Amino acid sequence: MRRCIRLVPIVAGFVVATGSHLPAQNAQLDRAIRSFHTDFRLSSDRARTARGDFNGDGREDVAAIVEGPERSAFVIFHSQPDRFAPHPLFTNLPPGPVELRVLQPGRHRIVGPQRSVVIKTPAVELVFPGRSSAMYVWRDGRYRVLGTENFR
């Protein structure tokens, strides 16, 4: 069953998603984060969370930088009917700024002899501004990492 999310305009041009399933979904995500590591929480920085169907199963997944008292990690949480399943991708992020971007299906430039790749589902790009970036693409049951140059 597909649920509708209604976008409601509010002050200053922002929109808020409303729907009865959001509190339950947030609770499921909180449980998944705690199952990954009891001291971790979602970052309050919106640039550190991204949503999309990253594994192509028709459900919205959550990519997030989760933060603990001594370290941060990059994890993609696959949405399942009754829970989120964590897929840790970078479990000890270096200190400093970091952002997540959603890359839509299509052709994207990558570093290396191949020079570009076509992706069929949204991917997540992990960006260390001014230093480096990489895209994480779901293929053959796991995430593949491809270097990008979108860190400017």
Q: Where are the domains of the chain?
A: 20-148
Indicate the pairing of strand 41-42 with strand 61-67: antiparallel
> What pLDDT score was predicted for residue 8?
40
pLDDT in tens, 120-133: 999 999 999 998 99
| CA 111, chain centre distance (Å) | 21
Mean pLDDT computed over every residue of the chain: 83
Structure tokens at 112: 């290396």
Q: Is the pTM of this model over 0.85?
A: no
**Ranges under pLDDT 50 in the chain:** 1-21
Q: Which residues are registered as beta bridge partners of 8?
A: 16
